[in-house]
DNA sequence: TACATACATTTGTATATACAATTATTGTAG
DNA sequence: CTACAATAATTGTATATACAAATGTATGTA
């Protein structure tokens, strides 16, 4: 991906601006490839993320706030995201008995099985996307991304 | 940004998967900061991108297909994106006389003036986001991003 | 107890986006 | 010259997302 070709700017862009655009373009590509990889499973990236988080709980329930904190996007979606996953029988939702304001969400057996298939499809896509980046470069890339000041 | 904290996974994630998630999280942050920076100008990231591309044309018109190729997102939006920019008097739209199927889009004087202010606000945001990444690191980061296999 | 406040989630609504179908124009094979 | 395909943009529609308001539940305190 050559960011200069896409931008075709005559005026030289600040290195910072170029980097940000570069990251945006990379994200767009990742997003498209991910959507494609998940299409056979009829789930969105967000739904996949919810399943992955729930599996990471190892049987423990997660409530909506927890999901939301760990997720990339915003609260208002989370209720409806979970609604969709319930329809597919990938997760279960129960009211927390200790604190009836809270909702506990679990991944189902079917959800776990499907998630495994999804994760495999994702890994194939990820390896293809990163096939020209060796391990050392990946480590460097992650280190550099860690340096970004992403606080609010 | 520490991706491990957010993921809280017990099982070690493949380095590829971790990198992809890392890029997603970084993008989410960039996206939020950008939306914030552009809020005073009442334009979306996409609208800002259209303006930037049009200015890069240096007076030459761009048709919708050109815009779409250079933009991050899809055709169907472009018509309506331009609609919004016309409402704000930031761009003009005329039918191409040589090929009446084509639509020519120009940035207006007002559009250019506003774009300058937007670009300044964006640069402030970008420098803040990248304040802990020195020039050498930025160059390395861009080189690594170039290695990603983002073809279709 | 009654009230205000905080918390957790849900719902309403407006806007954005993705995908498919449609319209209008141009190019070209027969 | 007509019919058909290709191109460029627009429109319709279903789904997704962002933001604000509303609902239901719990907690602190006078």
pLDDT tens digits for B65-99?
999 888 866 778 899 999 999 999 999 999 999 99
Question: What's chain B's Rg over C-alpha atoms?
Answer: 19
**Three-class DSSP category at A95:** strand
Q: Which nucleotides of D are covered by protein (CB under 7 A)?
A: 7-12, 16-20, 24-27
B121 to chain A: closest CA residue? A17
Tokens of A135: 């391990």
Distance from A143 to chain B by nearest Cα, in Å? 9
Q: Could you give the CA distance from residue A149 to residue B130 in angstroms, rounded to a whole number?
A: 6
Beta-bridge partner residues of B105:
B62, B93
pLDDT digits (tens, 9 = 90+) for A85-117: 999 999 999 999 999 999 999 999 999 999 999
CB A23 within 8 A of CB B150: no
Q: Could you give the CA distance from residue B104 to residue B50 in angstroms, rounded to a whole number?
A: 13
Residue B142: pLDDT over 60: yes
pLDDT digits (tens, 9 = 90+) for B122-136: 999 999 999 999 999
SS (H, E, C) A80-93: HHHHHHHHCCCEEE
User: pTM score, two decimals?
Assistant: 0.88
Tokens of A116: 């495994």
CB B31 within 8 A of CB B23: no
Beta-bridge partner residues of B31:
none
Task: Please state, for a pLDDT cut of 70, what percent of chain A lies above it.
Answer: 90
Of the partner residues A6, A70, A135, the one whose CB lies closest to the CB of residue B70: A6
Q: Which residues contact A127 (CB under 8 A, 6 or more apart)?
A: B16
Mean pLDDT of chain A: 89
Nucleotide nearest to B102 (CA to C1'): D8
Q: Which residues contact A84 (CB under 8 A, 6 or more apart)?
A: A47
pLDDT digits (tens, 9 = 90+) for B98-127: 999 999 999 999 999 999 999 999 999 999
Q: Could you give the CA distance from residue B34 to residue B37 in angstroms, rounded to a whole number?
A: 5
Distance from B109 to chain A by nearest Cα, in Å? 19
CB B122 within 8 A of CB B37: yes
- The DSSP H or E segment spanning B47 is helix B45-56
Regarding predicted confidence, which is higher, A2 or A15? A15
Task: Name residue, tokens 């789930």.
Answer: A43
Adjacency order of strands within the sheet including A103-107: A62-63, A103-107, A91-95
Task: Name residue, tokens 């402030």.
Answer: B124
pLDDT band at A149 (very low <50, low <70, confident <90, very high): confident
pLDDT digits (tens, 9 = 90+) for A50-72: 999 999 888 888 999 999 888 86
- Residues of chain A with Cβ-Cβ distance to B135 below 8 Å are 15
Under an 8 A CB cutoff, do B141 and A138 touch? no
């Amino acid at each position: 991906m050559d960011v200069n070709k896409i931008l075709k700017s005559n005026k030289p862009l600040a290195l910072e601006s170029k980097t940000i655009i570069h990251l945006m373009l990379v994200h767009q590509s990742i997003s498209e490839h991910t959507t494609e990889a998940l299409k056979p499973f009829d789930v969105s990236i967000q739904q996949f993320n919810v399943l992955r988080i729930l599996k990471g709980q190892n049987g423990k329930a997660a409530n909506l706030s927890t999901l939301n904190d760990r997720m990339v996007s915003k609260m208002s979606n989370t209720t409806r995201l979970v609604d969709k996953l319930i329809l597919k029988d990938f997760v279960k939702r129960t009211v927390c008995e200790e604190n009836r304001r809270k909702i506990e969400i679990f991944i189902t057996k079917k959800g776990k099985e499907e998630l495994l298939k999804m994760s495999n499809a994702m890994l194939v896509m990820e390896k293809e996307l990163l096939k020209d980046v060796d391990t050392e470069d990946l480590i460097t890339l992650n280190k550099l991304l860690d340096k970004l000041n992403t606080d609010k």
